[in-house]
Amino acid sequence: MTRTLFALLLLVPFAVHAAVSSQKPLTIIVPFPPGGSSDMTARIMAPKMGEKLGQTVIIDNRGGANGAIGATMAKRAAPDGHTILVGSIGVYAINPALQKNLQYDPMKDFDLLTLAVRAPNVLVVSPAMPAKGLADLVGYLKKMPGKVTFASSGAGSSDHLTAALFWQRTGTSGLHVPYKGGGPAIADLIGGHADASFQNLNAISGQVKGGKLKALAITADKRSPVLPQVPTMAEAGVKDVEVYSWQAAAAPKGLSPDVKAALHAALVGSLNDPQNRQKMIDVGFDVVASTPEQFERFLAQELTRWKNVIEKGNISLE
């Protein structure tokens, strides 16, 4: 290696640092209350991002309207590298088809940075439900159409739309009951006040292991090491219900190329940090850490998919 090349390599970290570093902190807008999957993702990533960028990182929780309020706030921020959005599948891929007066377009109003992590949903039922397996539940739904309650963390959430897709694939129907967050929905499932739900793996693994909820199937392409005894939907007899709830990062449209590259490098570096990666795995996330181009292609597919589910199910927020 020549001295010139060696010197240039030494300068790379400083160039990344200088691209966005200043006395102004980096604000990560999380468009949900503290404690959810988006918040968990942001808080795991933030310390290492701060180290790599040489900045203080602040988490700003701005909940409401299935993430639309916080996403709109992020859209309106200056595209100077000091504000990013860390949000869910609902924010990026479901709201555009579900909310008529949405104030942002995820493909036009943001510089997409990375698909950070993903986690499958798990079909769980209350211990009071007699269903021992997925076939039992499908049979029960066919005998009692529209009677079995499916709790969700809110209208338009990943768990709501996964239930709608499940009903479409099985030719059944249930009664959707939206809650103000996953926590209350899970509490009512445990208490027997709701019958079933598709919840993020990272949100219910502890309750399943503790016997407080029964897991019938997972919406992944293979079994999860977190709950290895739970079959996939396909293994249990229902195909084409492969769904991952995911978290991603974007910035207001108009970043300069060097700032965009620096933010992406900090995000991916934090996600791939061994300790952070293990933290993600421990709570049930798969680390993706995609390129911006990969995220853009993926988001285009997800927008089409969930638009079709919403239209076929005649789903609205009214």
Q: Residue 20's pLDDT band (boundaries 50, 70, 90)?
A: low
What's the pLDDT score for residue 182? 80
CATH of the domain at 142: 3.40.190.10
Percent of the chain with pLDDT over 70: 93
Tokens 């036009």 correspond to 108
Between CA 137 and CA 62 the distance in angstroms is: 37
pTM equals 0.83
Q: What is the mean pLDDT of residues 148-156?
A: 89
Question: Which whole number is the average pLDDT over 86-108?
Answer: 95
197 and 56 in a common domain:
no
274-282 and 257-272 helices cross at what angle (nearest 10)? 70
- What letter represents residue 277's amino acid? R
Mean pLDDT of 37-57: 94
Q: What is the pLDDT of residues 217-270, one digit of tens each?
A: 999 999 998 899 999 999 999 999 999 999 999 999 999 999 999 999 999 999
Q: How far apart are CA 149 and CA 134, in angstroms?
A: 16
The pair of three-digit structure tokens given for residue 290, joined into one six-digit string: 């995609």
265 plus 162 within the same structural domain:
no
What confidence score (pLDDT) does residue 252 get? Answer: 98
175-228 confidence digits (pLDDT tens) = 999 987 788 899 999 999 999 999 988 889 889 999 999 999 999 999 998 899
- List the domain range (segments joined by +) for residue 136: 120-218
Whether 137 and 276 map to the same domain: the answer is no
